[in-house]
Structure 1
Amino acid sequence: MWKSGLAAFLAAAAIGPAFAQADEFEQGMGTMWEVLWHQSGTPTRLVRWEQDIKVRVFGINLATHKQHTLQAIRDVANEAGVKVIDVSDRPDAAQVANVSIEITPDAMLEENQPCVTYLNFQTETRIDSAAMQMRNKDAFRCAYHEAMHVMGVRGHPAGKTVLSYFPTKVDGLFPLDKAMLRAWYSPRMRGGMTPFEVLPVLADELVGSMPDRDKAAAGRDRFFSRTIEQMQAFADGKGDVPMIVKRSGKSTEEGIRFGRMEMSYFLGIAYLEGATVPQDPSQAVRWLQRAANLGSRTAAARLGAATAR
């Protein structure tokens, strides 16, 4: 696997920088899409902070890990434009913190899950609080990965991102991470947006970072078309979740079934609003009806409103 990856890199270098740029953009778009998927096999809505982050770091070996952990939180929040307040030393820290980060003994978490973040929200729109745990021996390499999750970015995509299962950088953010956070917290975003509403904002941020924006924009449009085709097949029960989700080993039959229902609803909203695809009321009704048939009450309500017009 390593040899084939090296061969592809050398081939791209031999063909020239234009190919390399196109390949970089394609990989970036794939990462942007994969980040919108939960490991269970379900596409997710956008959630983010709408308040200051009050963080408490506690647990063992804080002299080694506290500053690096706080720096990770501050770095991601800075890209998002969210204020971070360290309340760790306050006597009432446990009560006032809305982000709790615990450095745990190594035996406390499983070997295949050395760090974990739980996001708490009453509705899938804004984050109310978050709790992170990292094993002592893994806290340094986990900090930036979990800090991205704290900001609401829940996927584990492949590519040059600290969200990858095996990131090559653990002491800071990649450019792609920064682009994701800037887009995630841009004025164009709002809590609860569907993947097809989110994807164009993420893509525009990536296009803006490319030297040749016209070529990148053409690549974006091709990616949108291909992704819509693949997701229609997935929603219809004929396609599959992104390969990175399958490779995670954490996708479940229940998650994928729920994902097909959600994706049907998301396609309906996309066609209803013209998000990622041209507006098409008949396609919107088709996909909302499928989602409703699969058990989505939200889709049934939107379907009723759409057909009543």
Structure 2
Amino acid sequence: MSWRATPMFKTGAAALLALAAVFPSLSRAEAFDQGMDTLWEVLWHQSGTATRVVRWEEDLKVRVYGASAATKKAHTLKALRDVAAEAGLKVIDVSDAADAAQQANVSIEIVPDSQLSEAQPCETRLNFGAETKIDSVTMQMRESEEWRCAYHESMHVMGVRGHPEGSTVLSYFATKVEGLQPLDKAMLRAWYSPRARGGMTPFEMLPILADELVAILPDKAKAKQSRDRYLSRTVQEMQAFAQGQGDIPMIVKRCGKSTEQGIRYGRMEMSYFLGVAYLQGASVARNDTQAVSWLQRAANLGSRPALAQLGAAGASLAGKS
């Protein structure tokens, strides 16, 4: 199984992140909310559905090859090393090994400009058997665009799949592409923190991302208050979405195509994610009744993971009675 990240140009100005230390005219609450909007969106596929956490469980053995590889490799590896360092992983260059293609779990090809379009100058494909652990990655970048693709695609290599608006190299090409922004580092530290694990659902991961944002803001007491309000508001919004109430959330419109089929699938997935949230006490207080209700809703919509969770939850609750 694989996942593909395909950057492209996005019309309209991207919403700029407003951290209090950078834009003091905004309130601390606004700064936190804008930062969290970016971190929340990184948990969403381009298809408009929320995603699970997938990440590496081993160091990266990297092969850089193709047109202009000799001149582009140093910058490409620097970007990947900067990103991997935040995750606590090593990058080992195996490009010159006789069996590089067999050794590498990350293969990066610098291709002629004619091979990819201007609207799609680079792409990354994650390969995994289950949506938990990355097995291997392949990446392609146009030789004339490597300079601005390298950090963006390196974030995808680490398993961070969204394309959020805001001050991040993951934005559809942000103005700053030569290094990681504070939010990029926060994402990576959260993704690879001891609290996180492969396969985590969005509401399990969201508090970890929120805590990393709190850590980089100056007034942590105020940020923690904003954190709790944001989590509560987000859960309420996603519950309404899962139930088909009100308008489609802006995050779905912003990161996806909002097709009728996609929205139906998204509601099923969100019902499952809410069930897991209430079952685990993630982003919400644990509530077994709510958990079973949301998991049953997801199962009725066709979710096999929800059926499995219902079986496990039923056995656990029976053991407590």
Residue 213 (structure 1) aligns with: 220
Cα offset for 1:245? Answer: 5.0
Residue 173 (structure 1) aligns with: 180
Over the matched positions of the two proteins, sequence identity in percent amounts to: 70
Cα shift readout 1:272-293 (whole Å, capped 9, x = no counterpart): 1110001111111111001101
Contact 1:116 1:132 in 2 (8 A): yes
1:158-237 equivalences under 5 Å are 158-237=165-244
SS of the equivalent of 1:55 reads strand
Q: Distance in 1 between matches of 2:262 and 2:73?
A: 35
User: Is the contact made by 1:35 and 1:153 (CA closer than 8 Å) also made in structure 2?
Assistant: yes
Q: Per-residue CA shift, 1:98-146, capped at 9, x if unaligned?
A: 0001111112123322111100111111100001111122111011000
Deviation at 1:153, TM superposition (A): 0.3
The aligned residue for residue 289 of structure 1 is 296
The TM-score with structure 1 as length reference comes to 0.91
TM superposition shift of 1:302:
1.0
Structure 2 partner of 1:133: 140
2:165 matched to 1:152?
Answer: no
Aligned to 1:61: 68
- Matching of residues 1-309 of structure 1 within 5 Å: 17=24, 19-238=26-245, 243=250, 245-247=252-254, 250=257, 252-308=259-315, 309=317
State the Cα RMSD in Å.
2.2
The residue aligned with 2:8 is none
Q: In structure 2, what is the Cα distance between the partners aligned to 1:142 and 1:20?
A: 33
Task: Supply the distance in 2 between the matched residues of 1:246 and 1:59 (Cα, whole angstroms).
Answer: 37
Q: Look up the SS of the partner of 2:144 in the other structure.
A: helix
Alpha-carbon separation, structure 1, partners of 2:183 and 2:38: 9
Look up the equivalent residue of 1:72 and give its one-letter code.
Answer: A
Change (3 A) 1:58 1:243: farther
- Partners of 2:41 and 2:255 within 8 A in 1: no
Shift of 1:65: 1.6
Q: Secondary structure at the match of 1:287?
A: helix
- Once the two structures are TM-superposed, the CA of residue 254 in structure 1 deviates from its matched residue by 3.5
Letter in 1 for 2:82: D
User: Hey, what's the Cα distance between the residues in 1 that align with 2:202 and 2:256?
Assistant: 22
Deviates more, 1:157-166 or 1:241-250: 241-250
In structure 2, the gaps of 5 or more residues are 1-11
In the TM superposition, what is the alpha-carbon distance from 1:259 to its structure 2 partner? 1.9
Larger helix percent? 1
Letter in 2 for 1:161: T
| Whole-angstrom CA distance in 1 between matches of 2:239 and 2:109 | 41
CA distance in 2 between partners of 1:166 and 1:241 (Å) = 26
Instruction: Mark the CA change 1:128 to 1:64 in structure 2 (over 3 Å): closer, same or farther.
Output: same
- Once the 2 structures are TM-superposed, how far is the Cα of residue 20 of structure 1 from its aligned partner? 4.0
Deviates more, 1:19-28 or 1:280-289: 19-28
2-structure distance, mates of 1:175, 1:239: 34
- Quote the Cα distance in structure 1 between the aligned partners of 2:117 and 2:250: 24
TM-score using structure 2 length: 0.88
Aligned equivalents of 1:204 and 1:254: distance in 2? Answer: 34
- Structure 1 regions of 5+ residues with no counterpart? none
Equivalent in the alignment of 2:7? none
Query: Which range is displaced more, 249-258 or 202-211?
Result: 249-258
Residue pair 1:54, 1:87 contacting (<8 A) in 2 also: yes
- Rounded to whole Å, the distance in 2 between the matches of 1:198 and 1:227 is 13
Closer, same or farther: CA 249–264 of 1 in aligned 2, 3 Å: closer
Worse overlay, 281-290 or 20-29: 20-29
Structure 1 runs (4+) greater than 6 angstroms displaced: none
Distance 1:127 1:113, change over 3 A: same
